[in-house]
Amino acid sequence: MAIEVLETADPARLAAFDMVIDARSPAEFAEDHAPGAVNLPVLTDAERAEVGTIYVQESRFQARRIGAAYIARNVARHLETALKDQGGGFRPLIYCWRGGQRSNAMATILSQVGWRTAVLAGGYKTYRHHVSARLYDAELPHRLVLLDGPTGAGKTELLGLAAERGVQTLDLEGLAVHRGSLFGGIPGRPQPSQKMFESRLLAAIDALDPTRPVLVEAESSKIGQRMIPPALWKRMEAAPRITLSAPAEARARYSVAAYREITEDPAALDDVLARVPDRPGRKRLVEWRALAAAGAFEALAAALIELHYDPAYRRSGKKDARASLATIEMAGVTPADLAAAADRIAPLLVDAAERLPAEPVQA
C-alpha cells in the first residue's frame, strides 16, 4: 500500500488521522511535539546516541545496519502493544525529526500491515515552522481583554471563575506552569520548554472563537523563564483592561494561602527572598527572614506587598496607556468576593465586544 506524504502541519489536516505518531526518541518528544501526538519511538535515547556516534566516528553502513535492527525490534514491540488493537481501517500519520529514515522505516512496516499510512514531509521541523509562523510572523485575529490588578488580588482564580460563567479565557500561567511572579514556580512541576509552551499556547489559541473577546491575565513578557511570543504579546500590549482592587491586608492573607507550599519549604522561601529584584538591603532581608522563621507569613506577605510588589505595580501602571474598561473594587479576596467579581466580568465583556478593535493597534 502506497505511503501518503502530507505537506502541511495544519492542525485540521493532522486531526483527520486516527493517530499522530511521533517516532522520535523520548527525549526529543519530551522537549516538544505536535498536540495529541503519541510517542512510539523507533530508537530509544540510548540507541539514537549509539547509532549517531557510530555514524560519525566509525561507519555509516555499520550505523545503518545497527539502526535498522533496533528500528525493526522497536516497531515490532509497538505492533504487539500500543497498536495491537487497531483495525484494518486504521489511518496513522508518522513523523520524525526531518521526515527521513525513522518515520519512513516505520511507515513502510505499517503500510505493509495494510494500514493507510502517511508521513509528514519535513517531520517535526515542518510542524515547528508552522508554530513559529503563527506565533512569530502572523497577526492573531483575537480580541483580548486583560485582567489586571496588584499581587494577591486573585487574578488567576478569577480567570477560572469567569470561564465557568461562559467567558472565553486564555490561561497563560497554566500553559507555562508558573504563576508569573518571583514566587511563581510550582514545586515538583518544572516549566515546559519554550517550544512546548508555544505548542500548547497555539493549540489553546486555535480552540478560541476569534469573534468573541478573550479574557487573559495581564502578564509581563515572560512568565517565569518562558517568553510570550510576539504575535500574542502585540495583542496584549494593545488590549484594554479590567482592573481588580482589594485591600493590601486581604491580598496578603490570600497570597499566604495561594503560595502555601513555599511557606512550607524554608530553604526555597529564603532563596526567593534573597532574589527580590530591587535589592531589599541587609537589614530588611534580616527582618523578612525573621518573620519567615517565626511563621509570621501574613506579616511577611504584607511587607513584600508594601515594599516590593505594590511599588513595582504602580511604576508599571504609570507607563501603561491601555484603555480601562472598569475597576472592580473588592472588600476582600474571599471566595465570595471573587465569585461576585466574576459575575461582574461576564457582562463587561459582552458590553465591550462591539468596542474592541478587529485589528491590533499600537498601545
Residue-wise pLDDT for 272-300, tens only, equals 888 777 666 778 888 888 999 999 999 99
Q: Which residue has the cell 487497531?
A: 86
pLDDT tens figures, 93-109: 999 999 889 999 999 99
| C-alpha span between 127 and 199 (Å, rounded) | 10
| C-alpha span between 124 and 22 (Å, rounded) | 8
Distances (CA, A) of 11 to 21, 38, 135, 147, 183: 14, 15, 14, 29, 35
Q: Is residue 346 scored above 50 in pLDDT?
A: yes
99 is catalytic: no
Domain residue ranges of the chain, discontinuous segments joined by + = 4-133, 141-352
The answer to which of 147-161, 184-198, 279-293, 347-361 has the lowest mean pLDDT is: 347-361
Q: Is residue 362 scored above 80 in pLDDT?
A: no
Cross-strand partners of 21? 38, 94
Distances (CA, A) of 29 to 45, 61, 164, 254, 328: 10, 27, 33, 38, 43
**Residue 363's pLDDT is what?**
38
Active-site option among 20, 96, 330, 338: 96
**How many helices (H) and strands (E) in the chain?**
17, 12
Question: Domain 141-352's class?
Answer: alpha beta
| C-alpha span between 327 and 309 (Å, rounded) | 19
**Residue 239's pLDDT is what?**
93
Cross-strand partners of 64? none
Cβ atoms of 75 and 106 closer than 8 Å: yes
| C-alpha span between 259 and 264 (Å, rounded) | 9
**Position with higher pLDDT, 358 vs 115:** 115
**Residue 247's pLDDT is what?**
97
The pLDDT-based confidence of 357 (bands split at 50, 70, 90) is low
Q: Which residue has the cell 530508537?
A: 43
The dihedral through the CA atoms of 178, 179, 185, 187 has a sign that is: negative
- Helix, strand, coil percentages in the chain from 3-state DSSP, rounded to 5: 50, 15, 35
Q: Which amino acid is at 201?
A: L
Q: Is residue 263 scored above 50 in pLDDT?
A: yes
Residue closest to 97 by CA, chosen among 50, 27, 155: 27
The answer to which of 125-129, 144-148, 308-312 has the lowest mean pLDDT is: 308-312
| C-alpha span between 155 and 171 (Å, rounded) | 11
Q: Is residue 126 scored above 70 in pLDDT?
A: yes
Residue closest to 234 by CA, chosen among 356, 142, 351: 142
pLDDT tens figures, 184-229: 777 778 999 999 999 999 999 999 999 999 999 999 999 999 999 9
Question: Domain 4-133's class?
Answer: alpha beta
Rg (C-alpha) for the chain, rounded Å, is 25
**Residue 361's pLDDT is what?**
44
**Position with higher pLDDT, 358 vs 320:** 320
| C-alpha span between 173 and 217 (Å, rounded) | 8
Q: Is residue 359 scored above 60 in pLDDT?
A: no
For residues 119-148, average pLDDT: 96
Cβ atoms of 143 and 358 closer than 8 Å: yes
**Residue 154's pLDDT is what?**
95
What residues contact residue 122 under an 8 Å CB cut-off, 6+ apart?
98, 99, 129
